[in-house]
Amino acid sequence: MKTIFKRLIFSLIIAIAIAYNTPVLAADLAEGAKIFKVECAGCHPNGGNIIRRGKNLKLRALHRNKVDSIASISALVANGKNNMSAYGDRLSATEIDNVSAYVLKMAENNWR
Ligand code: HEC
């Protein structure tokens, strides 16, 4: 009886873990690409930055400026920074994660 209960709790925890992790694990790059086109490409065409050239989205700049993970990019996008406005009110957390995953992926591919 006790082991059955333990197993039940264990499966429940796994199920919850899977349910909550899904959006992170399955970052939707196609969705991210669409959001990027609409919201970001105006200032960041081809991963550049028309306002502050050094703050572009190429891998070297992302490393230098320590925004080189999905989490750190998402935080910057949600909160904004200097001349870049915050997207926390306009995009959902999932949308921000998707566009951030897209940015990182494109940076890794040198925006090709
Ligand atoms: C109005 C123009 C504008 C738009 C639109 C814009 N950005 Fe930015 N972005 C900037 C500027 C300016 C900076 C530099 C901020 C600073 O002073 O550090 C920046 C910085 C960044 C950085 C950090 C780059 C680095 O090398 O430090 C990332 C990542 C980024 N933007 C992603 C995005 C994403 C994703 C979107 C769309 C959701 C977006 N930006 C929309 C202007 C913009």
Better pLDDT: 27 or 47: 47
Is 65 part of a structural domain of the chain? Answer: yes
Segments forming the whole domain that contains residue 84: 28-108
Helix (H, G, I), strand (E, B) or coil at 45: helix
- pLDDT for 1-31, tens place per residue? 678 888 887 777 777 676 665 544 568 999 9
Task: Report how far residue 29's alpha carbon sits from residue 8's, in angstroms, rounded to the nearest whole number.
Answer: 35
**What was the pLDDT predicted at 8?**
81
Name 81's bridge partners: 84
Is 10 part of a structural domain of the chain? Answer: no
Is 90 part of a structural domain of the chain? Answer: yes
Ligand 1 centroid, distance to 12 Cα (angstroms): 40
What is the overall mean pLDDT for the chain? 91
- How many percent of the chain have pLDDT more than 70? 88
Mean pLDDT over residues 47-73, rounded? 97
- Residue-wise DSSP of 64-107: HTT--SHHHHHHHHHH-BTTBPP-TTTS-HHHHHHHHHHHHHHH
Is 15 part of a structural domain of the chain? Answer: no
Q: What is the CATH number for 89?
A: 1.10.760.10
Mean pLDDT over residues 33-39, rounded? 98
Atom 20 of ligand 1: nearest residue by CA position: 55
Residues with CB under 6 Å of ligand 1 are 39-40, 42-44, 49, 51-52, 55-57, 61-62, 65, 67, 73, 76-77, 81-84, 87, 99, 103
Q: How many independent structural domains does the chain possess?
A: 1
Confirm if 32 and 100 have CB atoms less than 8 A apart.
yes
Is 4 part of a structural domain of the chain? Answer: no
Is 49 part of a structural domain of the chain? Answer: yes
